[in-house]
Structure 1
């Protein structure tokens, strides 16, 4: 399994030349995996050689098999930051104090009370 998402341009456009940015990103991921100890030195060296010998993105597809899968999710608290998970890891939500719900309830409660008062005033003919 290549670990590539279905929508990956590597799979969609295999004959497209590799851009410098794509090669740099792949190198960064490979370096990180090696530094974490996810891949042995022989695999690292062979993959780096193949990476720099590759001319099309299709040639990168088999190389992705040596990389740990990259799972991306957004921070559950809604900050939009990306969290990189290793296979088998679970995204633990960040717990933050719920400061906005009290304010929202106060505002909605006040608005509801004002609406009820206006309706009662209209019914009893005080307004209009």
Structure 2
């Protein structure tokens, strides 16, 4: 019995032809599973053979069985890597811009106080 839900395309449309894009996607998934150590070399070769021999979606059930699902979302931009490695320090930010803004705020506050004092006198 398959652990995949009936809504899975491998079970819901078992007689549909296997699209080339899906074949490429599953090949990438199998390579990742093998690289990560989730499947051994013999299982990897067997699944690849089954993948490229399959003509119909239903024939892919043994290939996808037990593989983790594909990520169907992109990482949000706020957590996307800026190119560095974990634990690596980034370049310091330019403090001159912050100093200009802080100085402008202080000067503006002093001017506002002076104007208010002049209005009270």
User: Secondary structure of the residue that 1:70 maps to in structure 2?
Assistant: coil
Aligned-partner Cα distance in 1 for 2:73–2:53: 34
Aligned-partner Cα distance in 1 for 2:70–2:25: 15
After superposition, the Cα gap between the structure-2 partners of 1:34 and 1:10, relative to the gap in structure 1 and judged at 3 Å, is: same
Aligned-partner Cα distance in 1 for 2:21–2:7: 18
TM-score (norm 1): 0.51
Which aligned runs of 4 or more in structure 1 are off by greater than 6 angstroms?
A: none
- The equivalent residue for 2:46 is 46
List per-residue Cα deviations over 1:32-59 (Å, max 9, x = no partner).
Answer: 0001111100110011011101100100
Give the strand-richer structure, 1 or 2: 1
CA contact (8 A) 1:14 1:59 kept: yes
After superposition, the Cα gap between the structure-2 partners of 1:43 and 1:66, relative to the gap in structure 1 and judged at 3 Å, is: farther
Count of residues paired in the alignment: 77
> Do residues 57 (structure 1) and 29 (structure 2) align?
no
- The equivalent residue for 2:69 is 70
CA contact (8 A) 2:2 2:65 kept: yes
> Aligned-pair distance for 1:23?
0.4
> Aligned-pair distance for 1:70?
2.1
CA contact (8 A) 2:47 2:62 kept: no
Question: Using CA pairs below 8 Å that are at least 6 residues apart, which structure has the higher relative contact order?
Answer: 2
After superposition, the Cα gap between the structure-2 partners of 1:74 and 1:40, relative to the gap in structure 1 and judged at 3 Å, is: same
> Aligned-pair distance for 1:7?
2.1
TM-score (norm 2): 0.53
List per-residue Cα deviations over 1:83-127 (Å, max 9, x = no partner).
Answer: xxxxxxxxxxxxxxxxxxxxxxxxxxxxxxxxxxxxxxxxxxxxx
Give the helix-richer structure, 1 or 2: 2
